[in-house]
Amino acid sequence: MVTYVFIASAALAVIFGVVAIAHRNPVANVLSLVVVFFALSAIYAVLGMDFLAAIQLIVYSGAILVLFLFVVMLLNIRAVERFGSGRPWQAFLGAVTAIILACLVVLGISELHPAKGSALPGSDKGTAYAIGHALVTTHLFAFELISLLLLAALVGALVLARKESR
C-alpha cells in the first residue's frame, strides 16, 4: 500500500512539476506547484515524517505559494487569463486530481499509526515532539538565528517593496 501511495505521489509530483515550469500562464505555474507540494507532503507522510508533512502543507502550500500568487496577480493582471473559459475537461481533471491528492495524503498519514511500529524517534507521540525538543535544546542557537533571519527578511521585503514617496 505504501509503495503504491509513493509511486502515485511521485508521478503526480513529476507531472505537475513539468506543468509548473512549462505552462505559459503564471497563475497555472503557481497552482501546479501547489499540487507538487501536496504530493511531496504525502511522500513525507509515507516516509514517517508527520511534522514535515504538516509544515510542507502549511508553510509551503499555505504561505509561500499564496505569496507568489499575490505577486503574480499584483504584477501582470492583463496577462492572467480568465478561468473556466470553454474547457470543461480541465475542471473535471482538476477535480479528479484534487480527490486523488486528498486520498494520497490520508493514506500516507494512516500508515503512520504507531501500531505499525515505525522506528522513527518519538513515533509514539509523532515526530513533532522530538523535533521541538531538539530545536530548543541542541539547536537552540540556530533556531534563534532563524527568527532573526525571518525578521530581517520581513524588514527587507518591506523596504524593497515600499513605494518611494517623494
Partner 1 sequence: MNPGALIPIPYTWVLVLSAVLFAIGTVGVLLRRNGIAIFLALELMLNSVNLAFAAFALRFAAEGGGAAAALNGQIFIFFIIAVAAAEAAVGLALFIALYRLKETIDVDRFNILRW
| Of positions 95, 96, 102, 153, contacts partner 1 by CB under 8 A | 153
Cβ-proximal residues to 103 (8 Å cutoff; 6+ apart), any chain: none
The least distance separating partner 1 from the CB of residue 88, rounded to whole angstroms, comes to 27
In whole angstroms, give the CA distance from residue 130 to residue 118.
Answer: 14
In whole angstroms, give the CA distance from residue 27 to residue 4.
Answer: 30
Q: Which stretch binds partner 1 (CB under 8 A): 2-10, 87-95, 99-107?
A: 2-10
Cα dist from 66 to 33, 55, 95, 122, 152, whole Å: 11, 15, 20, 32, 20
Binding site for partner 1 (CB under 8 A): 2-3, 6, 10, 13-14, 17-18, 20-21, 26, 29-30, 33, 36-37, 40, 43-44, 46-49, 51-52, 55-56, 59-60, 63-65, 67-68, 71-72, 74-76, 118-121, 127, 130-131, 134-135, 139, 142, 146, 149-150, 152-154, 156-161, 163
